[in-house]
Chains A and B, each alone.
Chain A
Amino acid sequence: MPLLSVSNLTTRFYTREGVTNAVENVNFSIDEGELLGIVGESGSGKSVACYSLLGLVPCPPGKIESGEALFDGKDLLKIGERALRDIRGNSISMIFQDPMTSLNPYMRIGDQLTEAYRQHKKSSKTEALSRAIASLEEVGIRDAEKRINAYPHEFSGGMRQRVMIAMALISEPRLLIADEPTTALDVTVQAQILELLKNLQEKRKLSIIFISHDLAVVSNIANRVLVMKQGEVVEQGEVAQIFNAPTHEYTKKLISAIPASGKPAEHKFASSSDKLLSVENLYTRFNLQSGSFFNRKNEKLTAVNNVSLDIYKGEILGLVGESGSGKSTLGRSIIRLIEADSGSVRLGDQNIRSLSPSDLRKARLQFQMIFQDPFASLNPRMTVFDALAEPLITHKLIDEKNLIQTINELLDDVGLERKYVRKYPHEFSGGQRQRIAIARALALRPKLIIADEPVSALDVTIQAQILELMLSLSKKHNLTMLFISHDLAVVRYICDRVMVMQSGCIVEQGETETLFNSPQEAYTQSLLAAIPQIPSATG
């Protein structure tokens, strides 16, 4: 008999805009000690399905219409809030995507860990505390006895997720629901957390429902997989079958959307004659202050440490590194969104770092940025037309007559229909918004585009489309681009050359395929090894 079996689960959201079928007739089950992966893109209902089981869907607007969820002979959907409370955090626990926001910032982690245990087991404070320490040690937090009095912000991202896991496991649940538990983490940290979950599953005979948008991660860790699309389960089966012989069209599309190969277009190899940008010995430092009033310590954090690089005309240069490696700071220091401390940046024959503020404003025509979150970086009160026209008009690049024609051409370029021109950013999907952001960057015909994680916030099928678009545009307009990303597969797919950054320094650089096939530095090797890969059918 399965540990949990869900049948005909349907959850709808009733909002002013209408009814959304978040989860539609979903059936699945999970056995003791099994790891079930649920994959799907954002909005596919994978999280809502699991939240419905535990009564965590906010209602209103959410409403569970029908279904049955048998756990231990009890129907979770019928037993009511009070009985459900005894199950939540006791025999079924959850961990969430972002451990920073999912832990209470106002409470010491010791209190957060013990509170559920004391609630469910009615134990004394001291007993709960020793359980909490043991639980922290189990998930690999050293000095647990001391760390237990720390606040969440005093931990790193990976350690915070370990705290979350310890918190979920403290009452020895039989089922753990992990909602995108590694999405907010760096790739090497992700590998550690996956390893930890796998170990716990084996050691404790723990059943895990692993929700993720990342197919490669799921293919590495799950026993069985459920593929969801728009609230429905389109396919489910053993992991090998799903990834090697998918039957449903959508599953095939998902798998093929993962950038798994090198650049499809011809690589542009640099010749020293057409150097566009050259950065020499760039340093950017931030001030850190610590210590008490009587014992001040002024430390400098060197975010960019003696970086020199060249970008050649028409190439896409990839800059990869984990969070905190200084890759964004480097990008921003180059175009003086952040002031560097020393070094030189030359674009053509201009020294960017010695420009006066007014000259810098004029020079900004030549470099444009594309950001990670297009929704946050587009003004919500400006239509597409205004957003695109504004830079053209401010820089007096165009007269009124040609304005509409130019904007239409821009929209054609990025594959948006011309009729969308009067719409506002919130009326578009994430992928369309990123197309607008790209059109805006292209509008000024810049010499250099700095793209900072441009596809990280997008679903994998949308990501594939945007990458395709960026490749075709770079070919059409002979764009030069600095492409900053933490995602090595994406970088491999789109970039001609790659630089690897670690704690402010460039540790390795080279032509993409050379670097990926034979990395020289230990750090690059460990980064590459940590990327989850879908196992191929033959091996």
Chain B
Amino acid sequence: MLRYTLIRLLAAIPVLFFVVLITFTLVHTAPGGPFDDERKASPEVLEGLNRHYNLDAPIQKQFVDYVANLIQGDFGPSFKYPNRSVSELISTGMSTTLELGIYALLFAMCLGALTGIAAGLKPNSLQDYMPMSIAMIGICLPSFVMGPLLVLLFGIYLEWLPVAGWGLSPGDKLLPSITLGAAYAAYIARLTRNGMLDVMSQDYIRTAKAKGLPQYRVVIFHALRGALAPVISFAGPAAAGLLSGSFVVETIYQIPGLGRFYLQAAFNRDYTMILGTTIFFAVLIIFFNILADILLAWVNPKLRQSLRGNSR
């Protein structure tokens, strides 16, 4: 297990390197630069800026310098917010984005798993068709449609919840989390349902029933671990998607998260900021995928053994 984790972490290094290389090449080959503003700066000022930010060096040297700084944990200064470093900017937005992502994931996991289990226990009944149809709608509705609809209903007509903000008034974290998590809840519900159906037809479930165990024990102790395996492998990429995909939701609800910085950075050609946020998200995505694989091995003792290297 330890060995497997180490290998996965080591394998992440080349992946990250290529992420940096490709992003770096893309942002530098894209037309325009960080200082092409509406207000034309004089050539002398531009030259000074370029020298200050090391943009006058050959592109290869810029890359080497950037990676060298990166290894020391320095993402460089932001081009657009002078006197502030990229690390600072990321850390301000990070906690909000992470919080939102975690709430959304929790919401998606709880609602998805519960409805999925209920549906999977009584396939082809009302208990199955109802939530699964709703789940289908949840998958089809993008968050920029879902968000305003929820705001309209709970914020404006019913006036139960605040329409925007984050941590400013009680309950304002609820709607953004639901908006962001809804599609994932729907996916998880469908995955859990199918996993449940698959597991409930296994021989060992028949054994558990033949032992005279009550239904709840059969479901919780025998079926659930197997049924949730596909959900766990989905949860890794999903967690990453929740964190990096929160931009739309952050905009709808006026949340000061990382997603907005990311988009602004791209419009502004803020090279270091684009690279910094991309690397940050890449690290998160890799981390959550590794975490999901480790969790999978943890629930499945047979997989654990094969990871230890007993396969041929």
Contact = CB atoms under 8 A, between A and B. Distances in A.
A532 to B, nearest CB: 25
Interface string A117-145: 00110000000000000000000000000
Contacts of A98: 203
Contacts of B2: 292-293
Interface string B196-214: 0000001110111111111
Interface stretch (B9-17, B128-136, B219-227): B219-227
Interface of B is mostly: helix
A115 B300 contact: no
Interface residues of A, number: 39
Name the residue in B204, B213, B225, B311 with the highest tally of chain A Cβ atoms < 10 Å from its Cβ. Answer: B204
Given A86-B212, A88-B211, A89-B213, A102 B206 contact: yes
Given A151-B302, A288-B310, A116 B204 contact: no
A104 B222 contact: yes
Name the residue in A90, A93, A101, A105 with the highest tally of chain B Cβ atoms < 10 Å from its Cβ. Answer: A105
Contact of B312 (A85, A89, A103, A301): A301
Interface string A290-325: 111100100001000000000000000000000000
Contact of A56 (B209, B222, B301): B209
B305 interface: yes
B212 A87 contact: yes
A290 B309 contact: yes
Interface in B1-21: 2-3, 6
Interface size class of B (residues with CB under 8 A): 20 to 34
A89 B203 contact: no
Contact of B203 (A93, A96, A289): A96
B212 A151 contact: no
Interface of A is mostly: mixed
Contacts of A96: 203, 206-207
B210 A93 contact: yes
A518 interface: no
B299 A106 contact: yes
Contact of A88 (B204, B210, B222, B225): B210
A293 B3 contact: yes
Contacts of A107: 221-222
Contacts of A105: 204, 226, 300-302
Nearest to A55: B209
Contacts of A102: 203-204, 206-207
Contacts of B221: 107, 115
A116 B310 contact: no
B301 A104 contact: no
B210 A103 contact: no
B308 interface: yes
B28 interface: no
Nearest to A151: B301
Given A151-B302, A288-B310, A290-B310, A101 B212 contact: no
A79 to B, nearest CB: 13
A487 to B, nearest CB: 24
Contacts of A167: 207, 211
Nearest to A177: B210
Interface of A: 54, 56, 84-90, 93-94, 96, 98, 101-107, 115-116, 119-120, 151, 153-154, 164, 167, 286-293, 296, 301
15 contacts: A56-B210, A88-B209, A88-B212, A96-B203, A101-B203, A103-B204, A105-B204, A106-B300, A107-B221, A115-B211, A119-B211, A119-B212, A164-B207, A290-B308, A291-B309
